[in-house]
Amino acid sequence: MKNFSVLAAGENPFGKINPPEGLANYTGTPEASIGKLLNIVLQTLIVGAGVYALFNLVLAGYAFMSAGDDAKKVAGAWAKIWQTLMGLAFAAGAFVLAAIFGQLIFGKWDFILNPKVPIP
């Protein structure tokens, strides 16, 4: 019965919860914190895609050099190089399209790339 009286009084039944020390840089308004989190996730994905593409290009280059006279291996290496470069082009094109749509729809180039979440 005591728990119901705490909830009825409008008090937090868990008490005061302090954020971890690592989140000290992300305090402030909730929309700023969510925007920073989304930017960090986006930047991490971009860096991950770049590292993956570099790794893929190095492996494909090595496969191409070691193919010798085998036409199938040469074709496979070229396909891997081509697919990696197309993936990078699509990733870069996504940012260009996001900027264009942000400008056309919202009037700001970085509206989609730098989100601000409104809180009522």
Residue 85 lies in a domain: yes
State the pLDDT at residue 23: 66
What range defines the domain where residue 76 resides? 52-115
Residue 61 lies in a domain: yes
CB 112 within 8 A of CB 39: no
Closest to 43 in 3D by CA, of 91, 99, 84, 8: 91
Count of structural domains, the chain: 1
Residue 23 lies in a domain: no
Per-residue pLDDT of the chain (120 residues; tens, 9 = 90+): 455 555 555 666 677 767 677 666 656 665 566 777 777 888 888 889 889 999 999 999 999 999 988 999 999 999 999 999 999 998 888 888 988 998 999 888 888 777 776 665
CA distance linking residue 55 with residue 8, whole number of Å: 59
Would you tell me how many other CB atoms lie within 10 Å of the CB of residue 77?
20
Residue 66 lies in a domain: yes
